[in-house]
Chains A and B, each alone.
Chain A
Amino acid sequence: MQNKILGRVYVLGEDIDTDQIIPAAHLVYSLEDPDERKKYGEYALSGVPAALAGLPNGNMPFIEKGKSHSEFSIIIAAKNFGCGSSREHAPAALEIAGVKAVITPSYARIFYRNAVDGGFLIPAESEKSLVDYFKTGDQAELDFINKNVTNTRTGESFSVKELGQVSQIIEAGGIFEYARISGMLQENTHA
């Protein structure tokens, strides 16, 4: 796991559910096939209503039409990010689109677990909602050593919480890697 993540920020509101992250109609694509997999990047966050897409102004697409990779690699959102369904396609779609970390004061439980156990992205938790302190397009530096995130435009820094009990799984890169390191799964179970 990197100590720092530097990237452009995409800002969203509260209760962004998994249908907004990846609408159910697209869940038919394979996550293994290299071409089909790209569809998840193409449609990532396509369920967010236009007016709320890329705050504070809205109407800012997360992905340019026809592309599967976003220029935004950090999502800053208000509370309860990832609520709704258990679809692991949600954190996977964000990863495929190029998202490295999400920063929000709280996550829905299954999204958080999926992000950690699948090793898709870092689910960072801020002490308070940072939606009013970042604009879509700002650059942010997320620092896991100093446990803060800085808006490089304003110079303001905000604390983020320790990753806590799951940090070993995050550092290992997912539940399978963690289980191998901790001896629960044998090394040779890897195909």
Chain B
Amino acid sequence: MPMTITEKILAEHAGITGVSPGENIWVDTDILMTHDVCGPPTIGIFKQQFGEKASVFDPEKVVIIPDHYIFTNDKHANRNIDILRDFVKEHNLPNYYDVGTERYKGVCHIALAEEGWTRPGNVLFGTDSHTCTAGAFGQFATGIGNTDAAFILGTGKLWVKVPETMQFIIDGEIPPYVMAKDIILQIIGDIGVDGASYRTMEFAGSGVEAMSMEERMTLCNMVIEAGGKNGIIAADATTEEYVKARTDAPYKIFRNDADAKFHTTNYYKAEDLLPMVAQPHSPDNKASVRDVQSEKVTRAYIGSCTGGKFSDFVAAAEILKDQQVAVETFIVPATTEIDKLLRTTQINGHSLMQIFENAGAQIGKPSCAACLGGPADTFGRTHKDEICISTTNRNFPGRMGSKSSQVYLASPYTVAASALTGKITDPQEFLN
């Protein structure tokens, strides 16, 4: 039976030779990831269902990365970190990245990759919708709820409906002012916020093959914004180089069979792609920057699993160096590793951090921060009628905190350029 990459991974983890879209199968979990928001209720359900003394299915396969509400005085949020800590101690779990220690990482999806937990051919479940980010490594990765996570914690298994695969082929050379964020905003705008519901979004073509792992992660990160179950990109030499530098764990590379069946195949010519935004209040409300330039913004935000990776800040720094921001600008590195790199990497004798500080930006600590609003004292959170242009992933009403604020989603280039002018600005004005 000819199969796609996703179908092959699921079949192997179900212990069967072939699967077809629509089939419900039970699969084995390679890694289960949870964080401070969904970990505590997952632990609660696990104890209630399996008993106070039950053991987890495999302590080595459970990865806990607190990242959402870390730098807050909210007593309930802080209590939730204690619940994680107690559970980790009780079960002697080795893969816990505790707050306030050297091990603390920050945003789970980027931390997973940096720490070598993203491996081709694996099945990764996480209690966060952006778990799909890891599909960039040629693995099946998807977001689940607390009950499903508790079920896995006790059994190592979960039922999955095999998704159909939609292919997105990006061929040609991507223009230097276009980032993966622009491409995924274009695609979501084309198919809609439910355009890939229950399906896999697979990205391929010479444009994708030329991308760094971080850019591939941006593509897969936002498939959930089109309703996708998972994103996937075939692993190649770029993937192997990244993975081998971070783990000795085995992995397996799957490829589509020549006659594998796809739901649809959509072609994009890389040369035609443009800087894009998603206008308020939906990730599919697309416009090219050219068509909405000069729309006013009052805030710029660069951070999150979508747009807070090292290369996102390198892009922003190219534009912000030797300039002054015109609106309040927030910089939040996704992880502590990225934070360190921003302090040690220099452009013309200044670290990226110095470039941001000299431009007048405010720097936050590694975490999810204002991407999803959060407690009132969250860094960069909106509180009134701000108009924010952001490298994050969602702009539904109230996403960044205040229901009366508005959010434009854009690439780090476009956000940085807009921060300098106070209006939506094409990065080409500042690049070269």
When each residue 22-58 of chain A gets 1 if its CB lies under 8 Å from chain B and 0 otherwise, what string results? 0111011111100010000000000111000000000
Any chain B CB within 8 A of the CB of A117? Answer: yes
Contact between chains at B52 and A191 (CB < 8 Å)? yes
* In the bound complex, CA of A88 to CA of B146 (Å): 6
Q: Is B145 an interface residue (CB 8 A)?
A: yes
Contact partner of A28 (CB less than 8 A), chosen from B51, B144, B375, is: B375
Shortest distance from the beta carbon of A47 to any chain B beta carbon, whole Å: 5
State which of B51, B69, B77, B227 has its C-beta within 8 Å of the C-beta of A109.
B227
Number of B interface residues at 8 Å Cβ cutoff, please give it: 56
Q: A83-B193, A85-B128 are in contact. Are A109 and B151 (CB under 8 A)?
A: no
Q: Report chain A residues within 8 Å CB of B403.
A: 47, 49
Q: Which of B80, B193, B373 contacts A23 (CB 8 A)?
A: B373
- Taking the nearest CB of chain A, how far is it from the CB of B372, in angstroms? 4
Measured between alpha carbons, how far is A36 from B403 in the docked complex, in Å?
Answer: 24
- Specify which of B48, B51, B224, B372 is in contact with A24 (CB 8 Å cutoff): B372
Within 8 A of A (CB), among B224-270: 224, 227, 229
Given A15-B282, A28-B69, A191-B48, does the pair A109, B197 have CB atoms closer than 8 Å? yes
List, in ascending order, chain B residues with CB within 8 A of A190's CB: 49, 51
Chain B residues near A23 (CB, 8 Å)?
373, 398
Q: Return chain B residues, CB-CB under 8 Å to A19.
A: 372-373, 394, 396-399
The A interface is mostly helix, strand or loop, or mixed, namely loop
Q: Are A117 and B151 in contact (CB under 8 A)?
A: yes
**The residue from B194, B373, B375 contacting A80, defined by CB atoms under 8 A apart:** B194
Q: How far is the CA of A30 from the CA of B144 in the complex (A)?
A: 19
Query: Which chain B positions have C-beta within 8 A of A36?
Result: 76
Chain B CB within 10 Å, residue with most, of A20, A32, A113, A185: A113
Partner among B76, B155, B397 whose Cβ is within 8 Å of the Cβ of A48: B397
Q: Are B145 and A118 in contact (CB under 8 A)?
A: yes
Q: How far is the CA of A86 from the CA of B375 in the complex (A)?
A: 19
Indicate whether B38 reaches chain A with its CB closer than 8 angstroms. Answer: yes
| A84 proximal to B (CB < 8 A) | yes
Choose one: B37, B151, B397; the contact of A47 (CB below 8 Å). Answer: B397
Return chain A residues, CB-CB under 8 Å to B399: 17, 19
Binding site for B on A (CB under 8 A): 15, 17, 19-20, 23-25, 27-32, 36, 47-49, 79-80, 83-89, 106, 108-110, 113-114, 117-118, 165, 174-176, 179, 184-185, 189-191
Q: Which residues of B contact A (CB under 8 A)?
A: 24, 26, 37-38, 40-41, 44, 47-52, 54, 68-69, 74, 76-77, 80, 126-129, 131, 143-148, 151, 154-155, 159, 161, 193-194, 197-198, 224, 227, 229, 282, 372-376, 394, 396-399, 401, 403
